[in-house]
Amino acid sequence: MTAIKVIGAGLAGCEAAWQIAQRGIKVELYEMKPLKKSPAHHSNNFAELVCSNSLKASRFGSASGMLKQEMRMLNSLLLQCADKCSVSAGGALAVNRDDFSAMITEKIKAHPNITVISEEITDIPESSICVIATGPLTADILAENIKAKFGGALSFFDAAAPIVTAQSIDFNHAFYASRYGKGNADDYINCPLNKEEYECFYHELINAERTPLKDVDVQNPKVYEGCMPIEVMAQRGENTIRFGPMKPVGLTDPKTGHRAWAVLQLRKENNEGTLYNLVGFQTNLKFPEQKRVFSLIPALKNAEFVRYGVMHRNTFINSPKLLNADFSLRNNSMIFFAGQITGVEGYMESGASGLIAGINSARLFSGKSPVQFPKETMMGALSRYISDETVSNFQPMGANIGILPSLEEEIRDKRLKAEKMAERSFSFLQQFIIDNNI
């Protein structure tokens, strides 16, 4: 065995390949692009962000911020590139998605220990160490083989939000501001609606025509809450989205001096501020319907849509029955899974699983035992969640404070509690890195 195989050059696969290569081990990175793309992918570059360009909160005392800092401590390729490609987004880390993917692609291809092979893998190589990071849109043949070998797979659906040009936004009906004044004032463009405008928009939204789902078994598809289409969320009640993605709290319209009835926020897609995405407006509406309905929002009445929202199938395995906490298969320790196919949910969660699988496959290759990350870290807590045999009705899980063990001291203030958990995480992780020579 002369190299570790990594299948898939998404976020998890690139992070896994990088971690292995940085440890002096050869990697064969298999990626079916540009020969074949999934329905949600458009670019030939690796680590393509197909939904939001936000990597969630930056603050260390948050679940997402904690996870990203842990990854930085482990020399994550994704965080190196994300920090260099960031765009203003208040308290979040958001990136120029094209620059981010291009930088990762360049670094992967330039690494002397990584050989990129443009080829579609249709079966699992079971006689060599490999990391399967084919993502939530694993190609059909490989997905069927995974399903056949590992007792079935689960699936859910998520969606992407539209993107509009900045110059097409009507600023007679929009204003710059970050919620509660966090971040820079121009991080978000806010599109307010009064009560009458909102009610008209809401009525058209819930009655708009949707794109039929192609899969025959999805008459009632599972939809992951974090990527729920706006029209599906709206059906829960007239005020659901007004208390969700369109909540007006923390935002005062400078033209009126008052808070609007509802507000759509637009977030930068690139550093130049020429493109903005509709925050929380993942959708499965037909393209003409997206144009018609979203243009009912006064600031978007003449909006130019450079990308419409899409909805696509995500697949994940029943990890609690199949995987160890080091992301290896219980019945074949040479095979590791990583990314959203394992049931971790989110960009950085996917990357973190690739980081863990990369480190552990490299250790196995070098004759060392794989390691389990401390349960006090967000990475360790996520890996334990996906490998916990007691978990019933397994569903995708993103980073959250609730999966961490309790603190020894009782702290009621949620913000302070999260900050203390972050401090504990970083301390445990630093010692873990030293003890295991990682």
Residue-level pLDDT at 135 = 82
How far, in whole angstroms, is CA 24 from its chain's centroid? 29
pLDDT at residue 312 greater than cutoff 80: no
- Same structural domain for residues 304 and 332? no
Buried b (16+ CB within 10 A) or exposed e, 409-418: eeeeeeeebb
Residue-level pLDDT at 220 = 46
**190-218: average pLDDT:** 85
Residue-level pLDDT at 181 = 77
pLDDT at residue 217 greater than cutoff 60: no
**425-438: average pLDDT:** 97
pLDDT tens for 386-398 read 999 887 668 778 8
Residue-level pLDDT at 86 = 94
- What's the structural domain count of the chain? 2
pLDDT confidence bin for 215, thresholds 50/70/90: very low
pTM (two decimals): 0.75
Percent of the chain surpassing pLDDT 90: 64
Residue-level pLDDT at 139 = 76
Residue-level pLDDT at 112 = 98
- What CATH number is given to the structural domain containing 187? 2.40.30
pLDDT at residue 270 greater than cutoff 80: no
CA 286 – CA 354 distance, rounded (Å): 34
- Same structural domain for residues 128 and 173? no
Residue carrying the six token digits 């390691």: 371
pLDDT at residue 358 greater than cutoff 70: yes
Name the domain boundary from 309, 337, 356.
309
- Same structural domain for residues 40 and 148? yes
- Same structural domain for residues 28 and 130? yes
Residue type, 184: N
- Same structural domain for residues 305 and 178? yes
- What CATH number is given to the structural domain containing 388? 3.50.50.60
Phi, psi for 117 (deg, rounded to 5): -120, 115
Residue type, 149: K
- Same structural domain for residues 68 and 184? no
pLDDT at residue 407 greater than cutoff 80: yes
Helix, coil or strand: residue 143:
helix
pLDDT at residue 329 greater than cutoff 80: yes
* Structural domain range at position 246: 163-309
- Same structural domain for residues 179 and 199? yes
> What is the dihedral sign for C-alpha 249, 253, 259, 262?
negative
Name the domain boundary from 282, 309, 336.
309
Residue-level pLDDT at 226 = 62
- Same structural domain for residues 274 and 324? no
pLDDT confidence bin for 224, thresholds 50/70/90: low
- Same structural domain for residues 318 and 282? no
Residue-level pLDDT at 263 = 98
Beta bridge partners of 189: 176, 266
pLDDT at residue 41 greater than cutoff 70: no
The answer to whether 170 and 296 have CB atoms below 8 angstroms apart is no
**288-306: average pLDDT:** 95
Which of the residue ranges 39-43, 47-51, 274-278 would you say has the lowest mean pLDDT?
39-43
Name the domain boundary from 265, 294, 309.
309
Percent of the chain surpassing pLDDT 70: 93
- Same structural domain for residues 193 and 251? yes
Distances (CA, A) of 433 to 42, 159, 205, 366: 38, 37, 50, 17
Residue-level pLDDT at 264 = 98
pLDDT confidence bin for 37, thresholds 50/70/90: low
Upper half-sphere CA count for residue 387 (Cβ side, 13 Å): 21
- Same structural domain for residues 129 and 199? no
The answer to whether 397 and 344 have CB atoms below 8 angstroms apart is yes
pLDDT at residue 216 greater than cutoff 60: no
pLDDT at residue 106 greater than cutoff 90: yes
Mean pLDDT rounded to a whole number for the chain = 90
- Same structural domain for residues 74 and 207? no
The answer to whether 340 and 316 have CB atoms below 8 angstroms apart is yes
